[in-house]
Amino acid sequence: MKAETYLKNYIQKTSSIVKRLFEKKEREFGKVSSIGKEMMEIYFNFMGGKNIRGSLTKLGYEIFGGKNEKAILEASLMVEIAHAFLLMHDDIMDQDALRRSLPTVHIQYERIYRKIYKESNPEHFGLSMAIDLGDAGFALAYLLLGEADFSPEVKTRVLKRFSQQILTTAFGQALDVNYEQASKIGEADVMRIHHYKTANYTITGPLQYGALFAGAKEEEIKKIEKYGLQVGIAFQLRDDELGLYSDEKKLGKPIGSDIREGKITLLHLKALEFAKGTDKKVLQSAYGNKNLTLAQIKKVQEITIKTGALDYSQKLARRLVEKGKKFVPEITTDPELQDTLYKMADFMIERES
């Protein structure tokens, strides 16, 4: 099946479940205070995106023979809800103001406070509420797991795998935060962040949770790792490309924020390595510049192409995808499911948002 179709079907099938879940929580919390109701509304509105992780959880379930569609749709939402939590916290750390075409949660709360309370520090309140709402969302994800329509044995195995995975992702995020400031970062370091922060989290983990929900053994879920690692790193390379070359409308977040943040992407690293003279200086003064201009972004885009850095990244991403695909036959022998895994792999680097 085409990856886009698979994702679209997943979103279609889960949208009413997500809505009902948050409506229930709004009622529960709304009974006590309008603040609780508002929290759940903001969380619900923040849900969205491509639903890659939820879809892959469902796909992993199907690959390992799972047949209870209702149960897996409900359970897989834990992954999307947890993803929203991580984005909320990530947006604080990256000081991003836009996400999924909406103000990020800390900015939304900053605005709410600015309106209600005249004095004091709206930025700090925005940040506090976004930390807190993220924590609430993380707990909600686990609550969904607890309530999922699977056996306690299965849920306990997912509990372990999922927690280990988030722990690793937080560790990857720490590398990311630290490396932004470090002076000697090489391609291997960037790959290490992508491995820990993205690949396991976005591809391997979700497929594995799905597999575990279907009752797969530990040896079986191991087989997903090689596919997930290659395809997952490729996913991140494409993400960094889109972050530099897409447009805000398509992407739902501003272009060039990686430049402003001084994020060490492969594009950044390679452009710096390949650039000479003035170009190198332009890159150095743009990356990490909090007052980045549009003209500077354009310049960085040009230099990244001109030096061959974009080409380098794209070719690597393609190689990784092709390498990842080689492991598909180890995961499943079903031709249709194999086909979906191939197309998912391609999608990760062909997607426009």
Q: For residues 301 and 245, is the Cβ–Cβ distance under 8 A? A: yes
Cβ closest to a copy of itself, residue 93 vs residue 222: 93
Task: Work out which of 116, 188, 294, 295 binds a copy of itself, going by CB under 8 A.
Answer: 116
The Cα 257–Cα 29 span in angstroms is: 35
Site mask for a copy of itself (CB under 8 A), range 36-75, x = bound: x--x------------------------------------
- Report d(CA 104, CA 88) in Å as an integer: 7
Q: Which is nearer to a copy of itself, 5 or 284 (CB)?
A: 284
Q: Does 81 bind a copy of itself (CB under 8 A)?
A: no
Q: Which is nearer to a copy of itself, 63 or 145 (CB)?
A: 145
CB 243 → a copy of itself: shortest distance, Å? Answer: 19
Site string for a copy of itself, 268-297 (x = CB under 8 A): --------------------x---------
CB-based burial of residue 294 (10 Å sphere; 0-12 exposed, 13-18 middle, 19+ buried)?
exposed
Residues 183 to 202: which contact a copy of itself by CB under 8 A? 192, 196
Q: Write b or e for each residue in 30-50: b if 16 or more Cβ atoms lie within 10 A of its Cβ, otherwise e.
A: beeeeebbbbbbbbbebbbbb
- According to the 3-state scheme, what is the secondary structure of 25-89? HHHHHHCCCHHHHHHHHHHHHHCCCCCHHHHHHHHHHHHCCCCCHHHHHHHHHHHHHHHHHHHHH
CB of residue 164 to a copy of itself, shortest distance in Å: 6
CB nearer to a copy of itself: give 155 or 343: 155
d(CA 242, CA 184): 25
Task: Spell out the alpha helix ranges (H) of the chain.
Answer: 3-30, 34-46, 52-63, 69-93, 105-116, 122-147, 152-179, 187-193, 205-213, 218-222, 224-245, 248-251, 257-261, 266-274, 277-286, 294-306, 309-325, 328-331, 335-350
Smallest distance from a copy of itself to CB 236, Å: 17
How near is the Cβ of 39 to a copy of itself at its closest, in Å?
A: 6
Closer to a copy of itself at the Cβ: 39 or 233? 39
Compute the least distance from the CB of residue 272 to a copy of itself, in Å: 17
What track of x and - describes contact with a copy of itself for positions 151 through 170 (by CB under 8 A)?
A: xxx-xxx-xx-xxx-xx--x
| Residue among 289 and 338 whose Cβ is closer to a copy of itself | 289
One residue of 5, 45, 178, 353 binding a copy of itself per CB under 8 A: 178
Q: Counting contacts by CB under 8 A, is residue 175 touching a copy of itself?
A: yes
Q: Please state, in angstroms and rounded to a whole number, the distance separating the CA atoms of residues 213 and 21.
A: 20
Nearest alpha carbon to residue 192 among 171, 208, 211, 167: 171
Name which of 248, 297, 293 is nearest 102 in CA terms: 248
Count of residues near a copy of itself by CB under 8 A: 59
Residue showing tokens 């992702």: 169
Q: Taking CB under 8 A as the rule, does residue 181 contact a copy of itself?
A: yes
Residue 233 sits in the site that holds a copy of itself (CB under 8 A): no
Nearer to a copy of itself by Cβ, of 1 and 131: the residue is 131
CA–CA distance, 49 with 86 (Å, rounded to integer): 13
Burial 121-132 (b: 16+ CB within 10 A, else e): ebeebbbebbee
Q: Which residue among 23, 41, 123, 132 contacts a copy of itself (CB under 8 A)? A: 132
Whose Cβ is closer to a copy of itself: residue 162's or residue 312's?
A: 162
The residues of the shown chain that bind a copy of itself, judged by CB under 8 A, are: 29, 32-33, 35-36, 39, 86, 89, 92-93, 95, 113, 116-117, 120, 124-125, 127-129, 131-136, 138-140, 142-143, 145-147, 151-153, 155-157, 159-160, 162-164, 166-167, 170-171, 173-175, 177-178, 181-182, 192, 196, 288
